[in-house]
Chains A and B, each alone.
Chain A
């Protein structure tokens, strides 16, 4: 299985801050990397797919980059509704593993 490791596991930030979360794969996954946001009690929501493609309806303050084994999710200017847990996932080979999550708190 491909292991996905996110850092940090948790972080505190303020409204307006620029935040970056990283995700590392245990082997190359090209750009088959997705990012999800999950709020408490809700299903995950797709933000970014194929490492850098913004899902329809997702605000442009979210962006993704990377290829191979190292990826980043950046939120350019945090809004109150962005405080949530973020997960990366590889869709290169099954099982399509998730990272352990990064909890973004105020």
Chain B
């Protein structure tokens, strides 16, 4: 069974750093693009960026470029989303998701993690 399991909820202060994770199982992790999606409280879905774990090729939305870093460690089938300095406006649910077609990002997200709630508050 294809599965993505995300790390647990986080409560941080503005200015702090954070790295959340997404561990894949049930498939060859290195050959499927993985993406991150933000959902602010009561709002819609926002595409943040994607990574191909096989070679760490990464694409960012202009809205998130420079604000976050997406990375992956294929040896442990885990993708990451990190912030160097959190803001209150980063408070949101963050989902990782896998692209349907191996080797191609021109496909939907077919498997989603359970989400990681990040709360940033002083």
Contact = CB atoms under 8 A, between A and B. Distances in A.
Interface residues of A, number: 23
A43 B114 contact: yes
A62 to B, nearest CB: 14
Contacts of A22: none
Chain B CB within 10 A, most for which of A43, A89, A99: A43
Contacts of A94: 50, 59, 61, 105
B45 A44 contact: yes
A34 B44 contact: no
B84 to A, nearest CB: 21
Nearest to B113: A43
A98 B97 CA distance: 14
Given A43-B112, A43-B114, A92-B106, A87 B50 contact: no
Interface in A29-78: 32, 34, 36, 38, 43-46, 49, 55
Interface residues of B, number: 26
Contact of A87 (B44, B63, B112): B44
Nearest to B106: A91
A68 B8 CA distance: 40
B26 interface: no
A38 B108 CA distance: 15
Given A32-B106, A46-B110, A98 B44 contact: yes
A101 B37 CA distance: 14
Given A43-B112, A46-B110, A98 B105 contact: no
